[in-house]
Structure 1
Amino acid sequence: MTNTQPRNTAAGLFAPLDDRFFFMSPFKSLITEGCYRRISTPALGGDQLDGEFQQSIAQAMQAARAEGIERPLVVGAIPFDPASPSSLYVPRQWQFFDKQQARQQAARYPDNPLPAVSQTRPLPAKPEFINMVAAAIEALRGGTLDKVVLSRLLDISTAGPADAAQLLARLVTQNSESYNFHLPLPDGSRLLGASPELLLRKQGNQLFSQPLAGSAKRHTDDAGLDAATARQLLDSTKDRYEHRLVTQAMNATLQSRCTALSVPERPECISTSTLWHLATSIEGQVKDPRDNALSLACLLHPTPALSGFPHQAAQTLLSQLEPFDRQHFGGIVGWCDDQGNGEWVIAIRCGHIQGCQVRLFAGAGIVPDSSPESEWRETGVKLTTMLHAFGMH
C-alpha cells in the first residue's frame, strides 16, 4: 500500500466510512484514509500568504513529507466564522476516484431502513423565524445594509445511530451532480452534504467559482411548469438584485489577485433535484504563483451569498437575529494539495450527525423586497435535500 493509495476503492467507497474524507465533484473526486496531523488554526486572515494560518498549513505539509508522505494534501472544513478553530487535517493516504464508479456503487449500496425518527424540532420555530426575517427587512429598508442571509436549523432525533455510509450513498444517488462530501470531525461526529455551490477551484494558475444566489422550487412532475419557473427566476428583479450583490462583491475581491478575470453580467439557471438557482461562472488567472486554493478560498469566505452585503454590517445583524452558532454550516469543505491545486465548496444542503442526533441547516438571502412567508418556504425546500436522504418529506 503506497502512501497515496487508501484501501482499494474497488472494495467499496462507502463502507466502512470510518475516518475517511469523501469528496465527490464534477472536477476531481477524492477519498482519504487516516489522519497524520490535525490543523485547528483559525482561517481568519488565511488569504495572507505569510500569515499564521498559511504557515501552519505549510508546516504540516513539510512534516508529512519528512515522514515519507509523498505529495501531501490538506482536507476538511473551515467554519462559517473563520475566527473559530478550523477542522482540517493532513491524511495519511489518499486517492482520486472516478465519479461514475461512485454513482454505480451508491446505487448498489444496501438500502436498509434507517432508524425511525422519534422527534423533529425547528430552530427557530416558524413564528420566530417569520419575526426574524421581518426584523431583517426593516433593517435593510433603513438603507445601511443591502442583503443579509438568515438561516434556520432542523434538529432530528432518531431511535438509533444513523448509518453515515448509507446516508452518503443516498445523497450521491439523489444528487449525483452536486458536490457530495463526508467529513469525520475531531469529536467523532460527521458532516455530510450535497452542496450545489462551488466557492473556489484552482488548477495551475486558473481559478473557477460559481456563486449561487436566488432560487425557486422545481416542479419535476410538470416539465412545462418547471421550465416556466426557471424563466421567471431569470427575470425576477428581486433575485437578480440579490445575485448581483454577490457577483459584484466577488469581482471586487478577486481583482487584486488575478491578471485576468471574467465575471459574466447575466447569470444562468442551474438546477438540483429540488431547486433552480441563479448562478454565475467566474474564471480567472491567478497573479501570484504562491497563491493556493485554500488562500483564495479564505479570501472569498464567507461570500455575500452566505452572510450578506456589506459583510461586516450583515455579520452584526446575523449575530443579533440568529439564535444559534452556525459552526460548520455555511462554512467551506474541500481539499488543497502541496502544489496549490484544490477545490472548496460551500457547506450547504448538509447535516451534522452525532449518534442519534442530526442537525440540518438551510438559509435564504433577505433583501428589502423579501417576504417572510416565502423565505420560510424556501428554506423548507432547501432542507428537503437532506430529508430525502432520510426518507422524509
Structure 2
Amino acid sequence: MVETTTFENAWLKDYSALCRGFLFTSPWRSLATQGCYTTISAPVHDAASLQGDFQQQLRQHFAAARKQGIANPILVGAIPFDVSQPAALFIPEAHQTFNRDDLQNALPQGISDLPEVRRRTPVPDHDVFLNMVADAVAATQRGELDKVVLSRLMDIVTEQPVDTATLMQRVIAQNPNSYHFHLPMPQGGALIGASPELMLRKQGRDFSSCPLAGSARRNHGDAQQDRAAGNTLMNSSKDRHEHKLVTDAMRDTLQPRSRLLSVPSTPSLITTATLWHLATQIDGEVQNEQENALSLACLLHPTPALSGFPHQRAQQLIQQLEPFDRQLFGGIVGWCDSEGNGEWVVTIRCGTVHGTRVRLFAGAGIVADSQPESEWRETGVKLDTMLRAFGLQ
C-alpha cells in the first residue's frame, strides 16, 4: 500500500514545484512525483493480460527500481485513446501522497491572470460537426452500431506562453470535486484536466469504477429548474439507453475476472460545476490477486462511454469522421504501484498546453435519436470546464 504523507503547507503552496512532475488529485488518494527513473512509451495493447509483454516488462522495471533504492515504485502518466499508440508513462524517482483537502485549503485567494487569448478556433467547425453527427446517427439507424462517441476540439492561441501551474491552480479552484491531473509531456508542454469520471480504482483485491454516460446542462440561476434538469435526464429514454450500453458492456468485460461484482440496474445522478450526469457505481473483487489497477483499467479501456458499442465498429467510424487524431484525449490518466493498487480516470474535460498553444477536448455519445445541434451544445458545455479556467466563459 502507498504510504500517505501530508506535504508541509509551504510545499503545498509551491505550485510551480508541484507541476514540474506528475500531479494527480482524488478524494481517495492524491500524489505528486519528483524526478524520473525511467520512461515507458510502449503501447499498452496487451496490458490487460497479466502474462503479456507489457506487464512482464513493468514487473522488471519495478524490480530494477527497487534495486536502485526506490522502496515503493509507482507507474504514472497517461494512456492514449488508441492503445496501439505509444503511452506517456514513467516511473518517478520519488513520490508523495497527500490529502486533497490540504491542497485545496492551501490555494491562495488570489490567482494570477492568464495571458489574453488571440484566437479561438473550433475543430471541426459547427457545420462540419453537425454533418459528422448526422452521419453517425444514420449509421446507428441502419443498425451498424448502437452508439458512437464523437468529439471536437477548441484550439486557442494566447498572446504570451501559458503558465501551466497557474492554469492548474484555476482548474482545481473551479472544479474542486473532480479528479485533477497535470502531466508533463515528453515532447514538451503539459496535459491538464479536471475529469469527473473514474475508470478504475483498486486497493488490495477490491476495485471500483463509476462510468458516466448521459448528461444535461445545469441551471445555477434557479435551484428548482436545476433539479428539474437532473430529473429530466434521469427519465430520458435516450440517455438511459446510452448509459445501459456502457454498464452492460462493462459488466460483461469484468465478470470473467471478478470473484464478486455489483452493477446496479438503475443509474444515479451526479453533478459537476456545469453538468448533470447519469452514473453507475460498480464494485467488485478480483479473482486473481495478481491483478493490478493498470491491468483492469486496460481491460475496460476504452469503454463505450469513450468509443461506442460495439467498440471495433465505433472506432472505425471515429477514424472515418473525426478530422483529427485524439492521441491522449479520451484515454486514461493515473497511477499504479508495485503492489497493484492504483487509480485511473478518463482523460476528459481536459486540454494540452504548449507555450502559446492550447488544445481543448470534449465528446458526446451519439445514438439513433441524437440531434446534431443538441450534441454541439453538449460538447460546448463540456468545453466550459477549461474555457472558464481561462476566464473565457
TM-score in terms of structure 2 length = 0.97
- TM-fit CA distance, 1:188: 1.4
Q: Give distance in 1, aligned partners of 2:25 and 2:7.
A: 17
Query: Does structure 1 conserve the Cα–Cα contact (< 8 Å) formed by 2:4 and 2:97?
Result: no
Question: Conserved in 2, the CA contact under 8 Å of 1:25 and 1:178?
Answer: yes
**Residue type at the aligned position of 1:295:** S
Once the two structures are superposed, residues 9-59 of structure 1 have per-residue CA deviations (whole angstroms, 9 ceiling, x without a partner) of 632352234531110101101111111100011010110111111122112
Alpha-carbon distance between aligned partners in 1 of 2:54 and 2:4, rounded to the nearest angstrom: 25
Give the match's secondary structure for 2:17: coil
User: Structure 1's 109 and 334: CA in aligned 2 closer, same or farther, altered over 3 A?
Assistant: farther
Structure 1: runs of 5 or more not aligned: none
Is 1:118 the counterpart of 2:118? The answer is yes
Structure 1 residue 227 and structure 2 residue 227: aligned? yes
Q: Which residue of 1 aligns with 2:64?
A: 63
Equivalent residue runs for 1:352-367 within 5 Å: 352-367=352-367
Cα deviation code 1:97-134 (max 9, x no counterpart): 1111111122x064122111000100000000000000
Does 2:145 align with 1:145?
Answer: yes
CA RMSD in angstroms, aligned pairs only: 1.4
Q: Residues of 1 paired with 2:226 and 2:62: CA distance?
A: 48
Amino acid at match of 1:242: E
SS at the partner of 1:15?
helix
Once the two structures are superposed, residues 256-315 of structure 1 have per-residue CA deviations (whole angstroms, 9 ceiling, x without a partner) of: 100110000000000000000000000000100110000000000000000000000101
Q: Is 2:344 aligned against 1:344?
A: yes
Deviation at 1:63, TM superposition (A): 1.1
Aligned pairs for 1:275-290 within 5 A: 275-290=275-290
Aligned to 1:76: 77
* Preserved contact between residue 171 and residue 389 of structure 2 (Cα < 8 Å): yes
Answering whether residue 190 of structure 2 is matched by residue 199 of structure 1, we say no
SS of 1:360's equivalent?
Answer: strand
Q: Is the 8 A contact 2:297 2:344 kept in 1?
A: yes
Partner-residue secondary structure (3-state), 2:384: helix
Please give the alpha-carbon distance, in whole angstroms, between the structure 2 residues aligned to 1:110 and 1:161: 20
Conserved? CA contact 1:6–1:94, under 8 Å: no
CA contact (8 A) 1:182 1:191 kept: yes
Q: Is 2:82 the partner of 1:87?
A: no
The one-letter code of the counterpart of 2:65 is A
Q: 1:139, CA displacement in angstroms?
A: 0.7
Counterpart of 1:253 in 2: which secondary structure? helix
1:254 Cα shift?
A: 0.1
The sequence identity of aligned pairs, in percent, is: 56
Partners of 2:144 and 2:100 in 1: CA distance = 45
The one-letter amino acid paired with 2:225 is: L
**Is residue 158–residue 357 contact of structure 2 (8 Å, CA) maintained in 1?**
yes
Q: 1:54-103 CA distances to partner (integer Å, 9 max, x unpaired)?
A: 12211211111111111100000000000000100000110111111111
Q: Compared with structure 1, are the counterparts of its residues 118 and 293 closer, same or farther at alpha carbon in structure 2 (3 Å cutoff)?
A: same
Provide the secondary structure at the position in 2 that maps to 1:31.
Answer: strand
Give the structure 2 partner of residue 16 of structure 1.
17
Q: Is the 8 A contact 1:213 1:279 kept in 2?
A: yes
SS in 1 for 2:106: helix
Q: Is the 8 A contact 1:217 1:274 kept in 2?
A: yes
1:169-318 correspondence runs (5 A):
169-318=169-318
The SS at the match of 2:15 is: coil
Partner of 2:226, secondary structure, is helix
Per the alignment, in what secondary structure is the counterpart of residue 149 of structure 2?
strand
For residues 6 and 77 of structure 1, do their structure 2 counterparts lie closer, same or farther at Cα, with a shift above 3 Å needed? farther
| CA–CA separation in structure 1 for the residues paired with 2:145 and 2:101 | 44
Q: Distance in 1 between matches of 2:188 and 2:321?
A: 30
Residue of structure 1 equivalent to 2:160: 160
Residues 223-247 of structure 1, C-alpha deviation per residue, up to 9 Å, x if partnerless?
A: 0000000000000000000000000
Contact 1:136–1:148, Cα closer than 8 Å, also in 2: yes
Contact 1:349/1:362 (8 A) holds in 2: yes
**Equivalent residue for 1:43?**
44
Offset from partner CA, 1:306-339 (integer Å, 9 cap, x none): 0000000101111100000000000000000111
TM-score of the two chains, using structure 1 as the length reference: 0.97
CA distance in 1 between partners of 2:47 and 2:219 (Å):
41
